[in-house]
Each structure stands twice: as structure tokens, then as C-alpha cells.
Amino acid sequence: MLGWPILAPQGRSAPATPMQLGWLSLAIACTVGYHLVLKVTPAGANPMLSLLVTYALVTLLFGAVLLVSPGGFEWRQEIRQLNWTALALAVVIVGLDLAFLLMYRSGVAVSVGALITQSAAAMLLLAIGVAAFKERLSAANAVGLVLCLAGLWLVNRR
């Protein structure tokens, strides 16, 4: 196992499990795919229609996955478990997709746009994690934050 203790739950220092590394790898691969697909989406395509078709296809795909998932599924019981986070996530996803699509259409390079947004988001989430979720900020985290800031400064230098 790889020694990625950063993936361990708060307060524990355990190496990453194969499942954690698998999900991490999938997230990285899909993030790359996400940015590349948005970058090559035809400039003449209506962005709202493009995203509408995307969301319709995502809905069908998730519906199919849900139907073939193992175990029983009670619609009423499962729907009751949902709360405001489903709506909030929908709003955030629409904003994210629209922002990246239009950002790339405006001429921002995929290499720089993704780097700036991901670094800025990482720094904000670090602060939010400490403030809202009582996560601990280690010296290594603080150094990482400084490196992110330095990296953003270097990327934006002309």
C-alpha cells in the first residue's frame, strides 16, 4: 500500500487502501476528462442546450445504474433521506459546468484555467475545513497553502 496518510480519516495515520486509491484515480481521470471535453465542446453549440443534453444523459445513466445496483431499493424511503444538499449540489454543478464551459470559450487555456481554479478551490477548502469542520491544519498543510499561493503567483506572471 502506498503511504498516503492524508487520505486517512482525521486523527489517524494509516496508509491509503486500494479502494481509496482507486476512487482517487477515478476522480483524477474524470477531472481531466471533464476539462478536456468542455474545452473541445463546439463553439457554435448553445451552452445551455449542451448542458441540458448532458444532464439528461447523466439522469438516464444514473437511473440505469440505480436499477442494476445490488440490494433492494424503496423509493419512498430513499427519497425521505434526501435534504437540501441535493438541490444545492444541482445549483453548484450547473454553475461549475457553465463557468468552465464559458471560461474555455472565452479563450482561457485549459492548462491554466484548471490549475488556477483547482488551486484556489483547494486553498479555500483548506480554510473552510479548519473553520467549519474543525479539521486540523498541520505545518505541512500550511506549507502547501504557501506553495499554492506561490504557484498561482507564478502561473499568473507574464
Q: Which pLDDT tens digit goes with each residue over 73-93? A: 788 999 999 999 999 999 999
Which distant-in-sequence residues (6+ apart) come within 8 Å of 50 by Cβ? Answer: 41, 101
- The answer to whether residues 112 and 65 touch, using CB atoms and an 8 Å cutoff, is no
Q: Which pLDDT tens digit goes with each residue over 46-64? A: 999 999 999 999 999 999 9
The arithmetic mean of pLDDT across residues 29-36, rounded, is 95
- Residue 10: pLDDT band (50, 70, 90) is low
Residue 41's pLDDT is 96
Alpha-carbon span 35 to 89, nearest angstrom? 19
- The answer to whether residues 148 and 123 touch, using CB atoms and an 8 Å cutoff, is yes
Is this prediction's pTM over 0.85? Answer: no
Closest residue by Cα to residue 34 from 129, 121, 99, 127? 99
